[in-house]
Structure 1
């Protein structure tokens, strides 16, 4: 991540020189790709934003740019021939059963370019659909048998993956099918990354719910009757329902006039963070499922950007800032790793600081430990650790 995949991918696409080209990316990255091709390849290609209306005739020497959610709803793309396909953040097709993955796997490109900072999210089984697209015609069952270690799960009634094997052979096969692996520190002298852990006092409500999986909050009964709901509510008691954490994030925001990026999970968190920023007269930018407005980030040096993990952990270039505050943690390793690279990438010339707000004695500490092992903090893992 942060190695300039846009430049590498576009140069490779230009070098392959097919009459037609199709770039599939996240919705938030469409304009970035269009601007990039128009700036550096305007003499070579006509760049077309392919979204609402089908195109009757596609001109040669063109690049179609479309987002994943729209692409699979355009069946006419299945007729496209003599083209190079480029997927930005190709881990988006790791679930081969999703509509967008099944559609992309049916395309008939001459060449395939896959770009990803986290192609597996720590799970090698998630490579299969990407490798299939690159031309490795190995059956999914054979792939799993060769490269994963599985055990029978008596409770769920199926095999589960508990580890990996023959990784050297897998890496060799990846290289044979065009995979190039690069790490930031092997390619660029990026600034140092610094992690700061800020303990937030716990609350009586958190302790009560952790013990009983039951509490009253704002005159409402909170019941954690399953692993999923118990984990969800513990995260909220440690996060947005913890006044000590809200005080800590207010202190952090008020302590600097530098640009700040704050990652959060839930709508209620956004609402509380927005109130704090408004109280402190901070210009706010927002990236979430319903609002995308990064103007203040671009134009105000003292802005605070409130970024929901699902909407902005992947794809954004935020290297104008060098400080990220994690108000709460995601439970997804891929989003966690991607979020850190929003500021630690080409163009960053300052040391990067990551502030983790962690409620004392809460589930957040274990979540961070698991995420640093590049694993998801799953409901099953939570259930095991809490003996639910």
Structure 2
């Protein structure tokens, strides 16, 4: 398998390491680097943990480029695992397979390793207890801009620092009188953190260091607000479309404000329709909620492709140059190659930085030869503007890890 020079460079930098993290920007081919490292480590057994949607891609990759026996380990238990094999399992199933605790002499590769950022979750606790001889972590957004979420990955790389000491050395915390708890307000000793990560086999690489990709154009579109949004923001209760919405908790209030700024806002829906009517090009639209999807599908009269928790169908995107591709963040922000399109519309924003940054790379990646346009539809005076500010702040923290050390 012929690798790009930057992929060879990443492997050369970690030749002596049996625990590595390839934090390569989206589109730089982490799959190829990780699988080559796994082949170099040459253990009898191999375990790949990935998102459910990525299982077919990993299976095809190994069958096309290697001689491993590939086993999808997500249904029935396996009595005996054959040597020279690759087990592929998704994050939601892995902790339900206790037989993996008995596995020895194996290499564990984790695609999108940020999935174990919460060390107290079932999946993280289970993975941290596995007896892997070698570890390969893959991610383009390892932290989502939150350094405290690195601890689980650092533990797998072999840095046995306690969570308490890690927070003390790298995280700034202050007491929140209102909520009566410590809250994270920033980070410190970032250069030392970067040095320790590299010491333990982490490689950071940005796309612009490797390839000259087309220009990116961000279009912030101010959408007219609605009477319903303003009324709910003031009173935390409203009846709309024969449904009563009550913001009786901070979480409920935030959710309803996002919905009122989204599919309940007819001005935003009209803008999407006008934008679609203004071009015959492919358009990708990111959304959050099922109601958003249903509303958009009803409004759009062009060929539609869909990626969400219920459906994955890219046939219209592949075959129709004027198709509209609707993607729910959780299901499709990571891993898709959509460079046939050069226009992305953010109907609503996610509150997860890693998904937001990954979503932008679906079209701005190797193979794209046109300028990329991103349309952020933000309801005037709404929560969406603050959400975008937070997403940008988190990106700054993530970018700081990828920055090269000053010589």
What's the TM-score, normalizing by structure 2? 0.87
1:303-314 aligned at under 5 Å gives the runs 303-314=323-334
C-alpha distance in structure 1 between counterparts of 2:318 and 2:147, whole Å: 37
User: Which residue number in structure 2 is paired with residue 51 of structure 1?
Assistant: 74
User: Which residue number in structure 1 is paired with residue 303 of structure 2?
Assistant: 283
User: Which residue number in structure 2 is paired with residue 17 of structure 1?
Assistant: 42
User: Which residue number in structure 2 is paired with residue 144 of structure 1?
Assistant: 167
Instruction: Report the more deviating stretch, 133-142 or 88-97.
Output: 133-142
The reply to whether residue 343 of structure 1 matches residue 363 of structure 2 is yes
Instruction: Report the more deviating stretch, 94-103 or 247-256.
Output: 247-256
C-alpha distance in structure 2 between counterparts of 1:132 and 1:185, whole Å: 30
C-alpha contact 2:213 2:369 (8 A) present in aligned 1: yes
C-alpha distance in structure 2 between counterparts of 1:107 and 1:91, whole Å: 17
User: Which residue number in structure 2 is paired with residue 180 of structure 1?
Assistant: 203
The reply to whether residue 331 of structure 1 matches residue 343 of structure 2 is no
C-alpha distance in structure 2 between counterparts of 1:57 and 1:221, whole Å: 55
1:1-388 aligned at under 5 Å gives the runs 1-41=26-66, 44-277=67-300, 280=301, 282-374=302-394
SS in 2 for 1:336: helix
**Cα deviation per residue 1:346-374 (whole Å; 9 max; x = unaligned)?**
22222211111122222222221221112
**Cα deviation per residue 1:95-147 (whole Å; 9 max; x = unaligned)?**
01111111111111111110011111111110000010111111111111111
C-alpha distance in structure 2 between counterparts of 1:220 and 1:24, whole Å: 42
SS in 2 for 1:374: helix
Give the superposition deviation at 1:55: 1.7
Between Structure 1 and Structure 2, how many residues are aligned? Answer: 371
Give the superposition deviation at 1:375: 6.9
C-alpha contact 2:225 2:379 (8 A) present in aligned 1: yes
SS in 2 for 1:373: helix
C-alpha contact 2:48 2:110 (8 A) present in aligned 1: yes
C-alpha contact 2:281 2:341 (8 A) present in aligned 1: yes
Instruction: Report the more deviating stretch, 123-132 or 139-148.
Output: 139-148
SS in 2 for 1:181: strand
C-alpha contact 2:339 2:364 (8 A) present in aligned 1: yes
C-alpha distance in structure 1 between counterparts of 2:344 and 2:378, whole Å: 14
Give the superposition deviation at 1:231: 1.8
C-alpha contact 2:146 2:394 (8 A) present in aligned 1: no
**Cα deviation per residue 1:305-344 (whole Å; 9 max; x = unaligned)?**
1111111112222222221110111122221111111111
C-alpha contact 2:357 2:395 (8 A) present in aligned 1: no
C-alpha distance in structure 2 between counterparts of 1:153 and 1:367, whole Å: 21
Give the superposition deviation at 1:222: 2.5
What's the TM-score, normalizing by structure 1? 0.92
